[in-house]
Amino acid sequence: MQQPHYTEAELVAALKRYDNVAYQYLYLNYRSAIYNNILQIIPATETANDVLQDVFVQVWKNIEKYDTSKGRLFTWLLKLTRNMAINQTRIKNFKVHSQNEDITNYVTSIENKNPDETAVHHIGLRQQVHKLRAEYKDVVELAYFQGFKQDEIAQLLQLPLGTVKTRLRNAIIELRKELV
């Protein structure tokens, strides 16, 4: 089947018109990047597949909220993907972990997991993060892959908020050098 080609503006316009073909195009065009991002957070393929599907259905349901003045479509997709994947891990971990487990221990136990030890190995951002020095790795791991807010990270790591902000910014500048 001949796939249509859209500019980003055309694609967004078609998505906002709930054009099914545009959603299929969106999926085919972005699925590998989105799937990889999900796998960074959820290595289990079956769950990751479910999240992948949910992400694109959520795009359909939430497309009217997407504001082009706030960023590119992919940036919005990435944020949506990350939020959904993190939510999924929280649901799963809530079931797995006993209710009386201290939240700090729970976070640390996940934090110490090395992505290289996961069942499925995917090259991506998380690997880059784990190459960072420990103090940077911790804040990015908690912020990006586990979805904690900066003040929550300060509380969890018992650091001043200012220190968390500085480490997060320095860490992400370091990552940029690796990313581009």
Which positions touch another protein (CB under 8 A)? 9, 12-13, 16-18, 20, 23-24, 27-28, 30-37, 39, 49, 52-53, 56-57, 60, 64, 67-72, 74-75, 78-79, 82-83, 122-124, 143-144, 149-150, 168-170, 172-173, 175-176, 179-180
Nearer to another protein, 64 or 117 (CB): 64
Residue number with CB closer to another protein (75 or 105): 75
- In angstroms, give the least distance from the CB of 100 to another protein: 31
CB 99 → another protein: shortest distance, Å? 29
SS3 153: helix
> Which tokens sit at 137?
């790795």
CB of 25 to another protein, least distance (A): 9
Provide the 10 A C-beta neighbour count for residue 122. 17
Q: Based on C-alpha coordinates, what's the Rg of the chain?
A: 18
Q: How many CB atoms lie within 10 A of CB 8?
A: 11
CB 39 to another protein: min, Å: 6
CA-wise closest residue to 28 among 43, 42, 13, 11: 11
* Residue 83 or 109 with smaller CB distance to another protein: 83
- The set of residues, in sequence order, having a beta carbon less than 8 Å from that of 154 and lying 6+ positions away, is 160, 161, 163, 164
16 touches 64 (CB < 8 A) = yes
Using alpha carbons only, give the angle 169, 118, 106 rounded to the nearest 5 degrees: 65
Least gap, CB of 50 to another protein (angstroms): 9
Give the residue with the Cβ less far from another protein, 39 or 132: 39
Q: CA 69 to CA 51: how far, in whole Å?
A: 27
* Closer CB to another protein, 66 or 97, in the complex: 66
Residue with Cβ nearer another protein (18 or 94): 18
**Token pair in block for residue 44:** 């289990």
